[in-house]
Amino acid sequence: MGQYDALYNRGEKRIAELQKITPVKSTPLQQKLEQHGISRRDFMTWTAKVTTMLSLPLSFSPLVAQAAEIADRVPLIWLHMAECTGCSESLIRADTPSIDAVIFDHISLEYHETLMAASGWQAEENLEHALEAYKGGYVLAVEGAIPTANNGHFLTVGCKGHTGLDIIHHAAEGAAAIVSVGTCAAFGGVQAASPNPTEAKGVGEVIHKPVVNLGGCPPSEKNIVGTLMYFIMFGKLPALDMYNRPKWAYGARVHDNCERRGRFDAGEFVEKFGDQGAKDGYCLYKVGCKGPYTYNNCPTERFNHHTSWPVLAGHGCIGCSEPNFWDAMADFEKPLGRRDIHSLDMTADMIGTAILGVTAVGIGAHAVAGVFAKDVEDK
């Protein structure tokens, strides 16, 4: 049996199991889509796009549709730690909700501090109840870094004064899967920037369970919903890269799919913001673009209903989906050049070297990425 047949069968079994569960909230997805003026045809187009985005053959499209429909059977608990809430904003902020936002709303969201009506004692009770009621079966999504200095007391949440560190340990225990949403939860983000007085860390550094890291400050709604869809569909984590990011989303460099790549190859660079090159859409490398060091699907998936992404808006990528980007990628408006960047390991350094030799860049990056990538799909 081929690899995809086995995966398809796994998906069918998983969906059949989930279909037996009675959803907590009872509005069917179809009805929710209609309420937002989204037609069945739009939904089917969305499922085909998600299938392709997840690097699955198009024959998986009906499975994606079914998984979306039964997403209300999978409890999701979403915690906020040290962060700006931009990750939630990325997902829900739209004047007309995208299909991704409607699907997210359809997932059985049991706890989310910025979206729920409850507050104070009631909110704490809701969390305790959800952790107990869905023990062993919920997806835990975490937004924000975990301060660890002074026993975690730089961050306390709620009226009982629990530290973020305690809450994460407690919530991780009963989770079926853990997703770090955004660079803060994945790698510490801006909170962990030097000198990092609160000793902020990513979730994966403070607990001993597998964590999927969705890098990006913020990550796109596509990468959040796609990851949740994958888990709902197959009941397991997708293949991950060396930083535990899903390969389907973070497998290629920003630079490889950038619409200005032809300009880079032709040596046509913006020399300073506002010059004629900037007006003509030249490459932003010399004004600091870190696309050659950064793995993410921003050029292909974009943000805000596929409207735009940083380079299209006229500023270079600042490497926001990479570990330690706040320090390692600075100055954001100057090229890294040959500077040795330890935190990005030799991969980035070799790519940096290759950039100066221009023609070697594509070959070098792919070869190095291939050597370091690890596949944990079945773990």
- Which residues are annotated as part of the binding site for [3Fe-4S] cluster? 298, 317, 320
Count of residues that interact with ligand SF4, criterion CB under 6 A: 15
Q: Which does 85 bind (CB under 5 to 8 A by kind): ligand SF4, ligand FSX, ligand F3S, none?
A: ligand FSX
Identify residues 176-195 at the interface with ligand FSX (CB under 6 A): 182-185, 189-190
Closest contact distance (angstroms) between CB of 58 and ligand SF4 is 29
Identify residues 225-254 at the interface with ligand SF4 (CB under 6 A): 254
Please enumerate in sequence order all residues whose Cβ is within 8 A of that of 313, keeping only pairs 6 or more positions apart, or say none: none
Angle of CA points 264, 266, 269, to nearest 5°: 50
Q: CA 205, 206, 209, 211 torsion: positive or negative?
A: negative
- Residue 258 has what DSSP assignment? -
291 counts as binding ligand SF4 under rule CB under 6 A: yes
Where b means 16+ CB within 10 Å and e means fewer, 5-19 reads eebbeebeebbeebe
188 counts as binding ligand SF4 under rule CB under 6 A: no
Run of H or E including 186 = helix 183-187
Q: Which does 230 bind (CB under 5 to 8 A by kind): ligand F3S, ligand SF4, ligand FSX, none?
A: none
Q: Site for ligand SF4 (CB under 6 A): which residue of 155, 311, 328, 361?
A: 311
Q: Give the residue among 76, 8, 82, 66 at the shortest CA–CA distance from 234.
A: 8
Identify residues 27-86 at the interface with ligand SF4 (CB under 6 A): none
Q: Which does 289 bind (CB under 5 to 8 A by kind): ligand FSX, ligand F3S, ligand SF4, none?
A: ligand SF4
For residues 285 and 303, which CB has a smaller minimum distance to ligand FSX in the complex?
A: 303
Whether the CB-CB separation of 303 and 309 falls below 8 Å is answered with yes
Between the alpha carbon of residue 377 and those of residues 52, 244, 245, 246, the distances in Å are 18, 11, 11, 9
Whether the CB-CB separation of 141 and 179 falls below 8 Å is answered with yes
Between the alpha carbon of residue 216 and those of residues 7, 123, 138, 185, 223, the distances in Å are 28, 28, 24, 10, 9
351 counts as binding ligand SF4 under rule CB under 6 A: no
258 counts as binding ligand SF4 under rule CB under 6 A: yes
Q: Which does 143 bind (CB under 5 to 8 A by kind): ligand SF4, ligand FSX, ligand F3S, none?
A: ligand FSX
309 counts as binding ligand F3S under rule CB under 6 A: yes
Burial of 112 (0-12, 13-18, 19+ CB in 10 A): middle
Residue ranges of the binding site? 84, 87, 184, 217, 255, 258, 283, 289, 298, 317, 320
Query: Binding string, 75-104, against ligand FSX, x = CB under 6 A?
Result: --------xxxxx-----------------
Question: Rounded to whole angstroms, how far apart are CA atoms 377 and 238?
Answer: 5
Whether the CB-CB separation of 177 and 237 falls below 8 Å is answered with yes
225 counts as binding ligand F3S under rule CB under 6 A: no
For residues 181 and 289, which CB has a smaller minimum distance to ligand SF4 in the complex?
A: 289
Q: Site for ligand F3S (CB under 6 A): which residue of 144, 147, 216, 352?
A: 216
Take residue 200 and report the two structure tokens written for it. Answer: 């902020």
Where are the strands (E) in 113-192, listed by range? 138-143, 146-147, 156-157, 162-163, 175-181
Closest contact distance (angstroms) between CB of 144 and ligand FSX is 5
- Which residues contact ligand SF4 (rule: CB under 6 A)? 254-255, 258, 260-261, 264, 283-285, 289, 291-292, 311, 316-317
- Which residues contact ligand FSX (rule: CB under 6 A)? 83-87, 143-144, 182-185, 189-190, 217-218
